[in-house]
């Protein structure tokens, strides 16, 4: 049975189409997917991300435990800063991609994808046993609401006296929003500027309503999973289970930059990752833009002269580009004359560098 976020009643009152996602009942859309997508690109969108996992590490050796457990150099993270990183297995395969927030000298919050939150919590608990730290899964205590889009700062500024203008990308600070305690983070998964607000479960619905009212004059719309997926696809952001998996290393995904070999001590997966860091991957992740109107979808073969040379990982119509787009793993060195096999028809595509869309800063 699917779990519900604290905002389920709100979503139902808005007429949302609800769907199971990673064991959670989540809003797929509220009306028009394209309208929600365009609102985020042009004004702002409001997202319920309360299905994400929040795992805390506290204590004198929390930083060292994370250096050992994850591929990043988290002990170097300054208070109030966040970092994108990954947890891998001993073979170097990605178990999840994460954002880690350093909340204090001895306190970190690890945000995991909903589908992997329990696994990440268990792995962190196991990997931290030798360190003076406590691992605690507090996912059930938190709701997560995101305001994303070029007008996000203007909207949020009407509800908080926090220094939003001084809050840099991938930083977070405690504050109040509509009088409610929140961790205000300048992070997101849409390719736009925006904020993610970590609040107590009981504050989720009142805060959603306050943000909705504050955002109305600015064109803010509630946005569901469908638009979140097309937004992150345009921005070239990976989705676990599509572009990332336990069968792929960070280097396979073109994200080897997140692996920090120069940090002190050993970390899980180090030997396996060192063995492949200088080896060109057999396939590389690329962007594909369709020449026609048919959409390449997850799992469709990528071909060249009829031979399979890759596979689509994510695909959708792009509202911003006006064409179908996709990410795909294709054989290294193959970058022209490609097609996607869409139900037996070879639909020509062009290879482009990711991301498809980059906002003006």
Q: What is the CATH number of the domain that holds 295?
A: 2.40.30.110
Residues 189 and 288 in one domain: no
Alpha helix stretches (DSSP H) within the chain: 8-13, 33-42, 62-69, 117-127, 152-157, 204-215, 225-234, 270-276
CA-closest candidate to residue 38, choices 299, 257, 317? 317
What pLDDT score does 292 carry? 97
What pLDDT score does 347 carry? 98
What pLDDT score does 1 carry? 83
The residue range of the domain holding 27 is 3-51+141-234
Look-up of token digits 């469908």? 226
Low-confidence ranges of the chain (pLDDT < 50): none
Q: State pLDDT tens for residues 288-338.
A: 999 999 999 999 999 999 999 999 999 999 999 999 999 999 999 999 999
Please, are residues 244 and 97 in contact by the beta-carbon 8 Å criterion? yes
Q: State pLDDT tens for residues 244-259.
A: 999 999 999 999 999 9
Where b means 16+ CB within 10 Å and e means fewer, 232-252 reads bbbbbbbbbebbbeeebbbbb
Q: Which two structure tokens, joined as six digits, stand for 229?
A: 């997926």
CA–CA distance, 189 with 303 (Å, rounded to integer): 30
Q: What is the CATH number of the domain that holds 20?
A: 3.30.1360.120
For residue 333, is it within any domain?
yes
For residue 85, is it within any domain?
no
Residues 223 and 149 in one domain: yes
């Amino acid at each position: 049975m699917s779990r519900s976020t604290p905002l389920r009643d709100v979503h139902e009152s808005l007429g949302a189409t609800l769907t199971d996602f990673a064991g959670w009942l989540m809003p797929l859309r509220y009306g028009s997917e394209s309208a929600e997508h365009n609102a985020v690109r042009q004004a702002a969108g409001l997202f319920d991300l309360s299905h994400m996992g929040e795992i805390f590490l506290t204590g004198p050796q929390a930083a060292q435990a994370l250096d050992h457990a994850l591929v990043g150099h988290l002990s170097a993270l300054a208070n109030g800063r966040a970092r994108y990183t990954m947890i891998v297995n001993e073979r170097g395969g990605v178990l999840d991609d994460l954002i880690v927030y350093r909340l204090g000298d001895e306190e970190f919050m690890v945000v995991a994808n909903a589908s992997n939150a329990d696994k990440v919590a268990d792995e962190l608990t196991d990997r931290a046993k030798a360190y003076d730290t406590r691992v605690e899964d507090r996912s059930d205590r938190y709701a997560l609401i995101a305001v994303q889009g070029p007008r996000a700062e203007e909207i949020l500024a009407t509800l908080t006296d926090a220094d939003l203008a001084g809050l840099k990308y991938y930083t977070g600070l405690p504050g109040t929003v509509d009088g409610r305690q929140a961790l205000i983070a300048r992070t997101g998964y849409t390719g736009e500027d925006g904020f993610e607000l970590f609040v107590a479960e009981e504050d989720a619905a009142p805060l959603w309503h306050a943000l909705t009212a504050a955002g109305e004059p600015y064109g803010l719309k509630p946005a569901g999973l469908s638009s979140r997926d097309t937004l992150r696809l345009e921005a070239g952001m990976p989705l676990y289970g599509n572009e990332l998996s336990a069968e792929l290393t960070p280097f396979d995904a073109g994200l080897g930059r997140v692996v920090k070999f120069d940090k002190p001590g050993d970390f899980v997966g180090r030997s396996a990752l060192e063995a492949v860091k200088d080896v060109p991957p057999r396939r590389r992740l690329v962007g594909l833009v369709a020449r026609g109107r048919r959409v390449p979808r997850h799992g469709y073969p990528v071909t060249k002269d009829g031979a399979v040379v890759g596979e689509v990982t994510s695909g959708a119509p792009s509202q911003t580009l006006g064409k179908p787009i996709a990410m795909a793993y294709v054989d290294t060195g193959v970058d022209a004359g490609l097609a996607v096999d869409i139900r037996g028809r070879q639909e020509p595509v062009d290879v482009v560098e990711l991301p498809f869309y980059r906002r003006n800063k």
